Structure 1
Amino acid sequence: MGLQEYVVRRIIQLVFTFWVFVSILFVLFRAAPGDPTSMYVTQGMSQEARQETIRRLGLDEPLHVQYVDYIGQLLTGEFGTSFRYNEPVWDILVVKFWNTVLLMGTALVVAYLIGITFGALLGWYRGSRFERGGIIVALMARSSPEFWTGILVLSVFSFWLGVFPSGGMRSIGVETSGFVTRYVNWDFAYHLVLPVMAGAIYYMATPILLMRNTMLDVLKADFIEIKKAEGLPEHQILFSHAVRNSVLPLVTVIALVSGKAIGGSLIIETVFNWPGMGREMVQSINYNDYPVAMGTFFLMGSVVIIMNFVADLAYGILDPRVQYD
């Protein structure tokens, strides 16, 4: 099977996966306990007003009609109207989505820059105290729950040292408009430091350990011995040759980790009161706001599915030794 045929098959599987995913979302939220009209329908409301509210929310239709309408909205890029905000769901989530992407994306960039460098050094100095200590640190970072890491970072740098804010995305009273002015400013960067630090600590263990293991294999290769015999400096052999040939597995893993990070941003956003997708998802569930909750699940789940698809393709494109059967 050639690469082109493989890509076509994976796209078909991707479409089927999305259909199953959105169908499960629809069924789960409709079967969930709670009445989404409870925040609109009060005891003093007349029967006519109650029925009008239910009709306006689109909850008077049979389930199969609601399902067809939901699929049709997704195909046209619409997520419906929020029960809670009475606004289009997309207008609510587009800002939350970018808040999450910038937070977790920055955390992953920091984690992989540190992880690749640190992991390469662990592999280069194999058998030393530095390697043993580094592995312990990486395993501790990976096994520590995200909420614990976040609380620890908050306790040290916000409550104890007082050098960074304890939460939020910007200072009180600071107002911005437009994408650039919202994110390209010192106040945003100042609030971004602690949640990025907590996320980077948690996610850097994977590139550290993977890079170290890959480096151990690369360092056994003949071309490394040739470079040493040529008298090249250690740092040049390490970063120009060994690291360069060790990063391939990380290219595909980062796609998988990126999907996981975006989909699992709930804990970091909750600890640091960050107005992102994860925090909005919890609030919408608490208010039985089906359209917003389904929209957040759909966007976060879509990132995971797409990044898995990208990881599959990336490995085959970057490594010509891969054969598709």
Structure 2
Amino acid sequence: MNRRNYLIRRALQALASLFVIATLLFFLFRWGLPDPTTALVADGLSPEQRELVRQSFGLDQPLWRQYLLFLQNAVQGDFGFSFHYRAPVADIIWERLGNTMVLMVTAILVAYIIGVPLGAWLSWRRGTRADTVGIFAGLMFRSAPMFWTGMIGILVFGVMLGFLPTSGMRTLPYEASGFFDKITTVDFLWHLTLPTIVVALYYLGSPLLIMRNTMLEVYGEDFIEMARAKGLPERTILYKHAARNALLPVVTQLAVTIGLAAGGQVVVEVVFSWPGLGREILNAVRTSDFPLAQASFLVMAAFVITLNLLVDIFYSTLDPRVSFK
């Protein structure tokens, strides 16, 4: 199978996966959440008035018709109106998604920028005290729940030292003319610091340990012996030859890490009161706002599926030996 056919097949698989997820979300939220009219109407309304509310949101339609309308509108990027906010779901999601992406991407970049070269260096220092400390630290932070690490960070740096802000994205009150105006200030970066450290420490262990272990396997390859026979410096062999060939598992893990981070943002956003999509999902489930909840999950799923597709494409670029099957 050539590259073009492989990419077409993978794209079709991604669309099929997204369709299945959308279907599951639609029915699970309608069968698993309480009647949303309890959150939409005030106490004391008559059954007729409740029925008018249901009609205004299309809840009086048969379930199969609601499902077809949901799929038709979702393809067009229209996810309906939020029961809680009385506003278009798409507007709420894009605003919250931007906040989530800033935190998630920053934290993962920090984790991989530190973890990949550090893992390569630990493989070079195998068996030393530095190697032992690095492995212990990576496993410890990976095993510690993010909510626990976050609360410790808030206690130490926010409460005891008063060094870093512990909640929100900006110091209130503030007015921002747009998204980029909101995130390009020193105050925002100061609020971003602590949650970024917490999330980065949690995901640091994956690139660090994978890079270290893969590097140890690469050291036994013939081309490494050839490079040493040529008299190349050990540092050049380490980072230019061995590290490049050890990056493939790290790239694969990056897609998994981003997928886990997209789902795990709920925890850190609740701990730090970060106004992101993860915290919004929790609030939507609490208020039975299933248009907002199902659309949020669907957007996250689309993001993860698209990312995995891109990783498959770049994988072959990093390693031409990869075959398309």
Q: TM-score range by the shorter chain?
A: over 0.9
Structure 2: unaligned runs, 5 residues or longer: none
**Offset at residue 49 of structure 1 (A):** 2.3
**Offset at residue 229 of structure 1 (A):** 4.7
Counterpart CA distance in 1 for 2:264 and 2:15 is 23
Instruction: Quote the residue 1:35 is aligned against.
Output: 35
**Offset at residue 175 of structure 1 (A):** 1.5
How many pairs does the alignment contain? Answer: 325
Tell me if the contact between 1:96 and 1:277 (Cα under 8 Å) persists in the aligned partners: yes
Tell me if the contact between 1:252 and 1:314 (Cα under 8 Å) persists in the aligned partners: no
The 5 A counterparts of 1:97-246 are 97-246=97-246
Specify the code of the residue in structure 1 equivalent to 2:179: F
1:314 to 2:314 alignment: yes
**Offset at residue 40 of structure 1 (A):** 2.6
Does 269-278 or 315-324 show the bigger shift?
Answer: 315-324
**Offset at residue 288 of structure 1 (A):** 0.8
Counterpart CA distance in 2 for 1:264 and 1:4 is 34
Instruction: Quote the residue 2:283 is aligned against.
Output: 283
**Offset at residue 231 of structure 1 (A):** 4.5
Specify the code of the residue in structure 2 equivalent to 1:63: L
Counterpart CA distance in 1 for 2:42 and 2:99 is 35
Instruction: Quote the residue 2:3 is aligned against.
Output: 3
Tell me if the contact between 2:33 and 2:285 (Cα under 8 Å) persists in the aligned partners: no
Q: Secondary structure at the match of 1:310?
A: helix
TM-score by length of 2: 0.95
**Offset at residue 48 of structure 1 (A):** 3.3
Specify the code of the residue in structure 2 equivalent to 1:178: G
Instruction: Quote the residue 2:258 is aligned against.
Output: 258
Task: Give percent identity, aligned residues only.
Answer: 44
Instruction: Quote the residue 2:14 is aligned against.
Output: 14
Tell me if the contact between 1:263 and 1:304 (Cα under 8 Å) persists in the aligned partners: no
Does 51-60 or 192-201 show the bigger shift?
Answer: 51-60
Counterpart CA distance in 2 for 1:162 and 1:42 is 43
**Offset at residue 137 of structure 1 (A):** 1.2
Q: How big is each residue's C-alpha offset from its partner over 1:57-103, in whole Å with a ceiling of 9 and x where there is no partner?
A: 11000001100110011011111001111110011111100110110
Counterpart CA distance in 2 for 1:321 and 1:229 is 25
Q: How big is each residue's C-alpha offset from its partner over 1:79-128, in whole Å with a ceiling of 9 and x where there is no partner?
A: 10011111100111111001101101000000001101210111001121
Counterpart CA distance in 1 for 2:71 and 2:23 is 9
Tell me if the contact between 1:150 and 1:198 (Cα under 8 Å) persists in the aligned partners: yes
**Offset at residue 230 of structure 1 (A):** 4.6
Does 217-226 or 176-185 show the bigger shift?
Answer: 217-226
> CA RMSD for the aligned pairs?
1.6
**Offset at residue 307 of structure 1 (A):** 1.9
Does 173-182 or 17-26 show the bigger shift?
Answer: 173-182
Q: How big is each residue's C-alpha offset from its partner over 1:167-186, in whole Å with a ceiling of 9 and x where there is no partner?
A: 11110112212122011111
Counterpart CA distance in 2 for 1:67 and 1:306 is 24
Counterpart CA distance in 1 for 2:234 and 2:321 is 29
Counterpart CA distance in 2 for 1:115 and 1:159 is 29
Counterpart CA distance in 1 for 2:71 and 2:222 is 56
Counterpart CA distance in 1 for 2:315 and 2:228 is 30
Specify the code of the residue in structure 1 equivalent to 2:130: F
Structure 1: unaligned runs, 5 residues or longer: none
Q: Secondary structure at the match of 2:96?
A: helix
Counterpart CA distance in 2 for 1:250 and 1:173 is 42
Q: Secondary structure at the match of 2:21?
A: helix
Counterpart CA distance in 2 for 1:209 and 1:297 is 30
Specify the code of the residue in structure 1 equivalent to 2:323: Q
Q: How big is each residue's C-alpha offset from its partner over 1:173-214, in whole Å with a ceiling of 9 and x where there is no partner?
A: 122121220111111110000000000000010000110011
Tell me if the contact between 1:256 and 1:307 (Cα under 8 Å) persists in the aligned partners: no
Counterpart CA distance in 2 for 1:12 and 1:228 is 46
Counterpart CA distance in 2 for 1:59 and 1:234 is 68
